[in-house]
Chain A
Amino acid sequence: MISDSIQKIEREDISHEHSYFLITFQDGSIADERNTNWSSFSEERQAYMLERSKTVVVCTHPVKNIKIFHNGLIADLDVPEDCQVYQAQKSQAIFVNGAVKTMVIGRTVGLIREDKIVLERYLDGMSGNVVGVEV
């Protein structure tokens, strides 16, 4: 099974209790960010949407479904066979009053087809909304 080939880890912090991915591969096996790192089965790629490029970290295994969770918000995507999936946490390092405070403010998931982003969902932890775009 695909998930058997992916390194499992023990997390010491609780930051992923309310913000994590849950990915189901084509063979039905599952990887969960609460004991797995995305970097264990992904690679960086340049992808394009509406003539803008961004770096995405794409899963290198065939995927059936991906769910992302962030502070009560959820996005649930079934992945077509001709698409690859990426996800990432969105963070902000804000410099004010003499200090820098870094926090996770949301999470993104998307589908790419031949380096073109065809769908993206963003769980916005600041507004409490799920927003997105589909091309």
Chain B
Amino acid sequence: MSTIPVIQFRASTTPFAVLTSVPYSQSTPGGTTIPVLEGNDSDPVVFRVYNNYACAAGIATALNATLASYDGVSVHTYSMPVASQKWVHVLQNGFGESKAAPGVYTFFEGSDTAIGGLNTYTFGNDSSGAQSSQIRAGSDGNGCGFLEVKSYIRVPTTATAGVAAFALSLLFDWTT
């Protein structure tokens, strides 16, 4: 039996905590952390997208997984600046899976891709290392798998100061 994949965005280092946000900021030469300035890139943020971190039984594979950026929840619109101007850049930074969390990590470097609206990111290697874009729940549906992502934002020179809203989204197929 296969139930819907259990997707979580988690930190890439121990204790691999569930993320409550992806904090984009930039560092000054003196080491101070500041909001990202117009015309600048943020510091890179590395996180993992897990399927079934809890290693429950009978969890489906997240097939044809792609990362996307939209204006917000329950919409596929991309009229706001972050999505429409494709501020968010992502590339795969690794993969792994195991019968027990957090899984065994293998480095893999994908291609830097600006995402937003119809521009989505397709992973090069799946959680097992095969050439496909999917996250398995371990090798048998009873473990965990993940894809590691390196991400940053590139703020246009024309951006105005303030808070820019957007949502990161993992789209995938699955079967029962």
Interface class of chain B by DSSP: loop
Among B90-98, B100-108, B162-170, the stretch that binds chain A is B162-170
In the complex, the answer to whether B169 meets A55 with C-beta atoms within 8 Å is no
In the complex, the answer to whether A95 meets B64 with C-beta atoms within 8 Å is no
In the complex, the answer to whether B175 meets A91 with C-beta atoms within 8 Å is no
In the complex, the answer to whether B175 meets A93 with C-beta atoms within 8 Å is no
Complex Cα–Cα for A91 and B173 (A): 6
Complex Cα–Cα for A63 and B17 (A): 46
| Residue B129 is within 8 A (CB to CB) of chain A in the complex | no
- Name the residue in B21, B171, B175 with the highest tally of chain A Cβ atoms < 10 Å from its Cβ: B175
Query: Digit string of B143-176 for contact with A (CB within 8 Å is 1, else 0)?
Result: 0000000000000000000000011111111111
Complex Cα–Cα for A91 and B130 (A): 22
Give the number of chain B interface residues (Cβ < 8 Å): 35
Give the number of chain A interface residues (Cβ < 8 Å): 32
CB distance from B122 to the nearest CB of A (A): 9
| Residue A94 is within 8 A (CB to CB) of chain B in the complex | yes
Partner of A91 from B21, B75, B174 at Cβ < 8 Å: B174
Partner of A39 from B22, B171, B176 at Cβ < 8 Å: B176
CB distance from A99 to the nearest CB of B (A): 7
Using known A-B contacts A33-B176, A96-B73, A99-B20, determine if residue A91 contacts B4 with beta carbons closer than 8 Å. yes
Chain B residues near A108 (CB, 8 Å)?
173
In the complex, the answer to whether A57 meets B63 with C-beta atoms within 8 Å is yes
A sample of 20 cross-chain residue pairs with beta-carbon separation below 8 angstroms, ordered by A number, consists of A33-B176, A37-B2, A39-B175, A39-B176, A42-B175, A55-B173, A89-B175, A90-B172, A91-B173, A92-B169, A93-B170, A93-B172, A94-B170, A95-B19, A95-B22, A95-B168, A96-B168, A100-B7, A100-B8, A102-B4
B interface with A by C-beta (< 8 Å):
1-2, 4-9, 19-22, 60, 62-64, 70, 72-76, 132, 134, 166-176
